A and B are shown apart, each in its own frame.
Chain A
């Protein structure tokens, strides 16, 4: 029993074991209560009597299929045939089956590293919408689900994610399985995004996100509770409280071990239920669904469950010494399979013999699923099995689907500034930012903007969203300060596909705050789940070097994003290019980072009159100035500074504005033709050395063009330290025209002196 529980089992509002300090002064106190209810739900005899027998049969069948499935996984793991961990859900099936059996096909779920049971429950409900028959539990569709899921866990090509995802990344979009997640709490913001999309697509569908007790203390979960409550998003936070995060107990990890209490602080209705009682879970979920479908927002459901084994593998936790055999034996008596069977037997709905036959049929189904995938090892001892060799994915598949193939951009109208035929108009850069977004939002109702303060201050902190909130109500969403939650929510919207989120990070350095969602989730999702799920998300941010915001606001994010191959990166330096590149970014099915620069915002440039619909040809650089002496590669505000330095030195340098910066989109053809001409190259950027962009590019250049280089690849960047607030120190930390001039002089020395 939890600390703080009242003896009758209700949830008391305050912990009774906390001693109240004697007060020195007598102040008036008024008891405050949560905004929304916090209750425990249990099943009564009458609930079992009233339950639809078909519902009970379906639950019993699902419980047995999942149990037999998990036992098979453990057996194969014991033989060393499951590469990596297999987090067993044996013992926890009741929470999954009870909560999913009542969902619709169009409802969605996601989960954590321990997610086989939820995945199977949703998949089985999807292929058997009318329920399952305990006398004939396995039909062809059920058998296929079992085999494809097992194949995925074994890492085989026929799995749901082509073997990429394995045990911890199970996805089947069609069935509403959004994908399980190996980062604790990492899937929760994505689920919120899916639920947002459901709500705004004229449905009353909902999403359930499953996570364990270990995840209730992590930011992404708590941020998402806050955000979904603020926006009434139909997300059910389903906490599978199995009492142990690996071997750390709930009581060790938190001062409030009644984990459903997390919801109360966010104004979220919170329910607690015995997860070993599948019917009680079903009833709790019915209540949760009613609330969420009605438009009232999220609900927290905490189900107390128990994993019979250790974190992974086939040993009980007691074998590792962190819990007792007696505790495990007591929980085994509460096995949800036994509970369901005994309630049904006592009501004459099934006999023990029929239950035994059901178990045998489930085991047979799993034996035949396994027999399709493994075989006697011809080189091994008798009884030693191996994966059937021809079932592995081809090694060639390793990088397939890291990003999309850009087929969505084929046939797009493109226009370079140098090719504009008609009239042009001069606009401020920041007005071009707002104008192209306005144009796209006008034509594409899927576009939704998210970010801090973007809905106020006449277009956010820089005016980049000026006029949009008035014109597109409900589509310009000012977020709470919680980057993990709102960029992850954008990721969930993108994966759902019905919307195209454009997320703003007010400053690039906030990528570190949201790093899990940005890199582990959004950047890897397509590849990790098999290579076919598009992630059309645009992330805008502005480099602010020179504004005095100091060490934690003034990075250039290009270098860090370039390490994440799922991300595309664009860095426009003129209003014309911005319009065309944002149009390409919004058409692209990959996540795209669009980097802006505060120094550019106020500057003016020409854009075609009356045309905001063209794209810049994807993956092309722009040659700003032709020359023969030295190739300068730069981007963003450093393009103009490089031009200034060239003019100052009189060097005959060729200046290339890279524009597309990610490793897949860099314009190698332009770089090559310039370097083969000049035999010297310098990469110019503004920001601190450590996170700078040019390192990988220099490496690639020396390997690709070694025999064309007459001198080392030169780099101009900021210094070692992040830029400080002090104006003088900031200027010293970032690269400017003088540094580029020095770089050009160095290049001349390297080439044997001035010509």
Chain B
């Protein structure tokens, strides 16, 4: 029965690899341990050895192609297999029916979303003299109590309005 050879996980965590070179060609008899192909990952180049015997009936991936681990890359046939058997194996495995050298489907690239250059903020508007510096506590209380902070004088570092200033402002009524 024809059997499908898939792209192996060469190293842990490798999800795709490049089949850099076929070392055998269609129609050749393959013995266990024969080097079928050279596979390239980011970490290593390895010789992929046959793990079963048979005739290398069809190559499904062209050299240089990067494919996901688990993708069918070749079909082995056993004595007596017809071309239909091989086609059936390819179809069952869900391999591309296109010839191995078919061009790769172009990948649509989503346009980058436009990024607004306006910062999103709920801070008080910037005054001509510069922004108002306020401690987090005062900012919260001013918001809750509806106080216009442009009327409050800050005595903290850099003129930051701090709790004491707010309390003084409220006391002055």
Contacts and interface: CB of A to CB of B under 8 A. Distances in A.
Interface of A: 77-80, 82-86, 312-316, 318-320, 325, 380-384, 679, 706-711, 749-753, 755
A752 B164 contact: yes
B4 interface: yes
A380 B94 CA distance: 9
B12 A84 contact: yes
Given A710-B135, A711-B135, A753-B155, A314 B8 contact: yes
A83 B13 CA distance: 7
B4 A383 contact: yes
Given A80-B9, A80-B69, A752-B155, A679 B137 contact: yes
Interface string B86-126: 00000011110000000000000000000000000000000
B49 A381 contact: no
A314 B49 CA distance: 10
Interface stretch (B23-31, B40-48, B57-65): B40-48
A320 B93 contact: no
Given A320-B46, A753-B155, A711 B162 contact: yes
B137 A316 contact: no
Given A325-B33, A382-B93, A709-B136, A312 B12 contact: yes
Contact of B8 (A78, A84, A750): A78
A84 B12 CA distance: 5
Contact of B11 (A312, A679, A755): A312
A738 to B, nearest CB: 21
A313 B9 contact: yes
Nearest to B135: A710
A85 B11 CA distance: 8
Given A319-B49, A320-B46, A382-B94, A752 B9 contact: no
B4 A313 contact: no
B73 interface: no
B138 interface: yes
B70 A84 contact: no
Contacts of A381: 72, 93-95
B157 A750 contact: yes
Contacts of A710: 135-138, 162-163
B118 to A, nearest CB: 24
Nearest to A678: B163
B15 interface: yes
B71 to A, nearest CB: 8
B131 interface: no
A752 B12 contact: no
A229 B47 CA distance: 46
A706 B11 CA distance: 48
Contacts of A380: 94
15 contacts: A78-B6, A79-B69, A82-B12, A84-B13, A313-B8, A314-B9, A315-B8, A315-B49, A318-B47, A319-B49, A320-B46, A384-B94, A710-B135, A710-B162, A710-B163
B165 interface: yes
A381 B10 CA distance: 20
B156 A752 contact: yes
Contact of B47 (A83, A85, A319, A751): A319
Nearest to B68: A80
Given A85-B12, A315-B49, 6 more contacts: A78-B6, A313-B12, A315-B10, A319-B49, A679-B163, A710-B136
Given A319-B49, A384-B70, A751-B156, A709 B137 contact: yes
B132 to A, nearest CB: 15
Contacts of B12: 77, 82, 84-86, 312-313
B19 to A, nearest CB: 14
Would you list the 8 A-B pairs with minimal beta carbon distance, nearest first?
A381-B94, A85-B12, A752-B155, A319-B46, A752-B164, A707-B140, A710-B163, A710-B135
Contacts of A313: 8-12
Nearest to A83: B13
Contacts of B154: 752
A750 B49 CA distance: 72
B94 A79 contact: no
A687 to B, nearest CB: 27
B128 to A, nearest CB: 25
A337 to B, nearest CB: 17
Contact of A708 (B9, B49, B92, B137): B137
Contacts of A83: 13
Contacts of B8: 78, 313-315
Contacts of B33: 325
A752 B70 contact: no
A472 B162 CA distance: 61
A600 to B, nearest CB: 36
Contacts of A753: 155, 164
Contacts of B70: 79-80, 384
Contacts of A755: 164
A325 B165 CA distance: 82
Among A83, A315, A320, the one with the most B-chain Cβ atoms within 10 Å of its Cβ is A315
A85 B13 CA distance: 7
A382 B92 contact: yes
Nearest to B51: A314
Contacts of A382: 92-94
A312 B10 CA distance: 9
Contacts of A77: 9, 12
Contact of A315 (B15, B46, B165): B46
Q: Which of A381, A383, A749, A752 has the most chain B CB atoms inside 10 A of its CB?
A: A752
B17 to A, nearest CB: 11
Contacts of B95: 381
Given A325-B33, A709-B135, A710-B163, A319 B48 contact: yes
Interface string B128-162: 00000001111110000000000000111100001
B137 to A, nearest CB: 4
A751 B92 contact: no
B86 to A, nearest CB: 15
Given A708-B137, A752-B162, A80 B48 contact: no
Nearest to A755: B164
A325 B154 CA distance: 80
B3 to A, nearest CB: 10
B135 A320 contact: no
Contacts of B11: 312-313
A751 B162 contact: yes
Contacts of B93: 381-383
A318 B48 CA distance: 10
Nearest to A709: B136
A706 B4 CA distance: 62
Given A320-B44, A382-B94, A708-B137, A78 B9 contact: yes
A710 B162 CA distance: 6
Contacts of B46: 315, 319-320
A85 B12 CA distance: 5
Nearest to B156: A752
